Amino acid sequence: MFSPPEILHVLVRLRIDALLGIGVALAACEIARRHARRHGAGGDFSRVVCLTVVALALVGALLAEWTALVLGYPASTTLATLALARAAVLGASVVLGIVLLVTALRLALLRAELRAHADTERQLQQAKTAADNANRAKSDFLAVMSHEIRTPLNAVMGFASLLAETRLDEAQRGYLGTITTEGERLGSLINDVLDLTKIEEGRLILERLPFAPAETAYEVLRLLSARANEKKLDLRFEAQIAGPLLVAGDPLRFRQILVNLIDNAIKFTPQGSVTLFLAWTPPAGAGSPHGQLRVRVRDTGIGIAPEKLRDLFQKFMQVDTSTTRRYGGTGLGLAICRRLVRLMGGEIEVTSTPDQGSEFSFSLPFTDVALPPATHAAPPSPAANRGHIPRILVVDDMETNRFLLEVFLRRNGFAPELAAGGEEAIRLAAQNTYDAILMDLQMPDLDGYTAARRIRAAEPPGRHTPIIALTASVAKDTREKCLAAGMDEHLTKPLDLRKFKAFLDTFVRTVAPAATLAV
């Protein structure tokens, strides 16, 4: 066995400590390189760092040799002191090298991580752009599709309503009833899909008009009472509102929510009752201008299983697959209700017990207003203006649409003339004086905008023929584009012919540029 002084002697003589130091430096470099490669930072970890570390170990080895001279070994110092001094110098150089190595490695890893983040961010950005494009394509597709569906639907519904005024036997009336009901369902499905798209794209802007919630509720109940009567359901209304309440909000959207909820309650209640509760809590004090309108729709119907309640407000959600077959519907109504209630600042909730019934409820913040609601003057009837039969130019490239409007206008005391395209409309408008022009927008020869612009430009001073755009397009800027092209109003198809008649009575006789009437 060797004694410690003999080991020290061999260590110093053969420079084993120095070799060990260089070996440690080389091994550390290799480990660091592999680590960097494993974490995708191989390219960021420079070889220069390894060369520097090995160079530091070599310098340490040289300095270790130099200690013998500095300490005056063997004359003035012992072997143990020399070994200690060598170990200190070598250790310091190796530690320095390793610190350098670790720092360089961490920097390389950090750089690789930043690059990975940047890559992920770029990919996310690309994915977002792709999703935005897909969303835009979906909206465009929906707008085009709804246009394509609305145009023939308009003709089907129009002719159905003309047919209803002719002599029909009982069976034929039944068929016509089915055509009308299914047509209305198709129309409301298109409206639902469009509403949802509008809300999801943030394009739905709520109105702020004075309205009486109790009156709106009453109207909705009256509208749906026929269906409740058919099923022998008790349709009730309970209101806790002190005095006549007028609030500022969007009456149409409020009505839409009520119609959806009460219609569902009637649909899913085979017997018993459906009750609408309204309760108004006035603003708490001067600090808060909003009161709360609490709305509850309770039924004694089939109820909803607890596990289905969570997803009830998702799009196309129907509690069981036989729902569509048994009750109809699309599963969009509640999704729209939830989004509308949220837009109005509330949250819709539901509680339900299977076979006992359900209750849908929400509270909306409203300010109550002292203004009386705007009253619309009754439209003057054509009879009031018997001396003159208004001439109306119908411009549409589709024969069925022209025919429908011709029959409708003739029947209602107007004198229609027809143009199958934009060029023909311009020619006729230059030759004749019309009381109004009904202008389709999409026509193959010349679109409605250009035709309207040219008709306006050719009008003699002092004349302004009302031009009303009739289109199935639901694109959001259609109305603005129509007004910019010199048209006076824009109505979407399918037209409700009864309301359209009232509109014409008002519009054609009391020419009101850019009038806003709901048709």
Strands, E, within 230-348: which ranges?
234-240, 247-249, 273-281, 291-299
Residue 318 makes contact with ligand ADP by CB under 6 A: yes
Using CB under 6 A as the binding rule, whether residue 196 contacts ligand ADP is answered as: no
Which residue of 17, 195, 299, 424 would you call a contact of ligand ADP, by CB under 6 A?
299
Binding of residue 264 to ligand ADP (CB under 6 A):
yes
Calculate the CA dihedral of residues 321, 322, 323, 328 and round it to 10 degrees.
Answer: 110
Give me 278's structure tokens.
């309204």
Name the segment binding ligand ADP (CB under 6 A); options: 27-35, 257-265, 288-296, 338-346.
257-265
Q: Which H helix or E strand runs over 264?
A: helix 251-267
CA distance 134 to 49: 49
Contact between 197 and ligand ADP by CB under 6 A: the answer reads no
Taking CB under 6 A as the rule, does residue 268 contact ligand ADP?
A: yes
| Window contacting ligand ADP (CB under 6 A); options: 52-60, 146-154, 315-323, 417-425 | 315-323
Under the criterion CB under 6 A, does residue 317 sit at the interface with ligand ADP? yes
| Residue tagged 């289109």 (tokens) | 471
- CA-to-CA distance for 292 and 481, rounded, in angstroms? 39
Residue closer to ligand ADP, measured from CB, 81 or 324: 324
Q: Which of 105, 108, 265, 451 binds ligand ADP (CB under 6 A)?
A: 265
Q: Is 333 in the site for ligand ADP (CB under 6 A)?
A: yes
CA pair distance 361, 365, nearest whole angstrom: 14
> Is residue 351 near ligand ADP by the rule CB under 6 A?
no
251 binds ligand ADP (CB under 6 A): no
CA-to-CA separations, 506 to 390, 391, 411, 502, 513, in angstroms, rounded: 12, 15, 17, 6, 12
Q: Which stretch binds ligand ADP (CB under 6 A): 39-47, 145-153, 329-337, 424-432?
A: 329-337
Q: Half-sphere exposure (CA, 13 Å, Cβ side) for 498?
A: 3
- The CA-atom distances, in angstroms, between 421 and each of 137, 407, 472 are 29, 19, 17
Contact status: 228 vs ligand ADP (CB under 6 A): no
Cross-strand partners of 274: 235, 299
CA distance 14 to 77: 19
Least separation in angstroms between CB 297 and ligand ADP: 7
Q: Is there binding between residue 329 and ligand ADP (CB under 6 A)?
A: yes
Q: Which of 24, 304, 451, 452 binds ligand ADP (CB under 6 A)?
A: 304
By CB under 6 A, is residue 319 in contact with ligand ADP?
yes
Look up tokens 């039924």; give the residue: 299
| Smaller CB separation from ligand ADP, 360 or 503 | 360
Among residues 67, 275, 358, 465, which is the contact residue for ligand ADP, using CB under 6 A?
358
Contact footprint for ligand ADP (CB under 6 A): 260, 264-265, 268, 299, 301-302, 304, 312, 317-319, 323, 329-335, 358
